[in-house]
Chains A and B, each alone.
Chain A
Amino acid sequence: MPKEQYQAQSSNTHSQVSHEHSLSAEPVVSIGGMEVTNSLLSSWIVVFLLIVFSLVIKLKLSRIPKGIQNVFEIIIEKSLEMFDSVTGSREKSLKFFPFIFAFFAYILLNNWLGMLPGVGSIGGVAQEGGEKVFVPLFRGGTADLNTTLSLAIIGVVASHIFGVLAVGAWRHLNKFINIQALLDIPKKIKKEPTIIIINPIQVFVGLIEIVSELSKVISLSFRLFGNIFAGEILLASMSAILAFGLPLPFLLLELFVGVIQALIFAILVLSYLAIHTSVEEC
């Protein structure tokens, strides 16, 4: 990001402009009373790109695949194979595929968009608490906790919805607040006396599951945010040391990290879906 450097240097000569990567996305414009951050702006670009991409796919779709459709079909075929290893059945994989693929596509493009030249380097100077702060116009969508957190919440909430639809509300509830296990104690105590020890443990495990659902949201959102944000800082630091050549290997690394993080997020959401839609055997 040489531009950033020049701009930073040029502004340094005139007056002190703070040029730090802030942990949060900065508001850039305000539409209808809502402050739109630079991350949201670049997310909208991604949304636009994906809609265009979808329309292109739809228009170019043919029974006999040609060119890009072939590539896309290979991707679908391979990811369905991978999904099968997580869900255990092709039927489930096909059911979850569009949902998971939307996660993957959105996160991947957001990750990569954050690395484009201009993103994070073009912007203006804003006054903040007496000192001048550089505010970029665009910032990687996933380099904002709001994005990753909302995606994580969507994923986890969807896993619960699918779970209720697949196994029923009562059984799904019993995975967390295990009333069934308590009710079973007087019924089966004559057959297996050990149930008086096992079932309270199961109830306790169910309570722990509630905590784990919360931690799913936190781990999903912070993992993605941390990786991408750290990548942007890494690239900025490398450019600060030497803007020519030095950031290249790190760019490649970040390109890779972008795919990996998108994949991890998608597969984890898929596994949550798979876990909640399968009947627990106990």
Chain B
Amino acid sequence: MESLINNFHIDAGLLMAQVINFVIIFVALYFFALKPLLRVMQNRTQTIEKSLEDAKRAEENLAKAEEDYNKKIQEAKQEANTILKKAEEQAEQNKQETTEKARQEIGEMISKEKERQRAEKQKTLKEIREEVADLVESSLEKVLKEKVDSEKDKELIKKSLKTNK
């Protein structure tokens, strides 16, 4: 053992010096190089993993959204169709109702007018008749030139009226 130490010049101070060297190297490498580098690498791995996952999720979302969109569009189309059909029916009904009403109104108006005309005609006729009677009376008076007594007069008028009728 003694010769071993002497031959290889093993020295406690040198051993300690090398231990210190190693500790310095370990600390320097660990804190300056390896720790930050490993952290950066790990962060990068995580980031890439996350972005890949995000991309996948986004794609899924997109597909889902497209599906939803298509479904909604289909629904909307159907709804629009039903609304349109309903509206058409409504319009048709409205039209029919309106024409019916108009027809009725027109009919009523026509019959009212007819009634009115008839009434007017009768009124006119009555007036005419009275006028004619007056006329006849005055003309008869003129023709006869003389007034007959009222008895005769009345009789005469009656007679003439009867003949005129």
List chain A positions with a Cβ less than 8 A from chain B. Answer: 23-25, 34-37, 39-40, 43-44, 46-47, 50-51, 53-55, 57-58, 61-63, 69, 72-73, 76-77, 94, 97-99, 101-103, 105-106, 144-147, 149-151, 153-154
Contact = CB atoms under 8 A, between A and B. Distances in A.
Contacts, number: 116
A57 B32 contact: yes
Given A34-B13, A40-B14, A145-B10, A61 B36 contact: yes
Contacts of B34: 76, 97-98, 101
Contacts of B31: 54
A154 B29 contact: no
Contact of A98 (B8, B22, B35): B35
B32 A150 contact: no
Contacts of A54: 28-29, 31-33
Nearest to A103: B22
B24 interface: yes
B44 interface: yes
Contacts of A147: 18
Given A50-B28, A150-B22, A97 B17 contact: no
B8 A23 contact: yes
Q: Is the interface of A mostly helix, strand, loop or mixed?
A: helix
B33 A53 contact: yes
B62 interface: no
Contacts of B24: 47, 51
Contact of A58 (B15, B21, B33): B33
Nearest to A94: B38
Contact of B22 (A44, A63, A102): A102
B25 A106 contact: yes
A58 B30 CA distance: 11
A168 B72 CA distance: 65
Contacts of A53: 33
Given A40-B17, A102-B26, A61 B37 contact: yes
B50 to A, nearest CB: 14
B93 interface: no
Nearest to B41: A73
A28 to B, nearest CB: 12
Contact of A145 (B8, B13, B33): B8
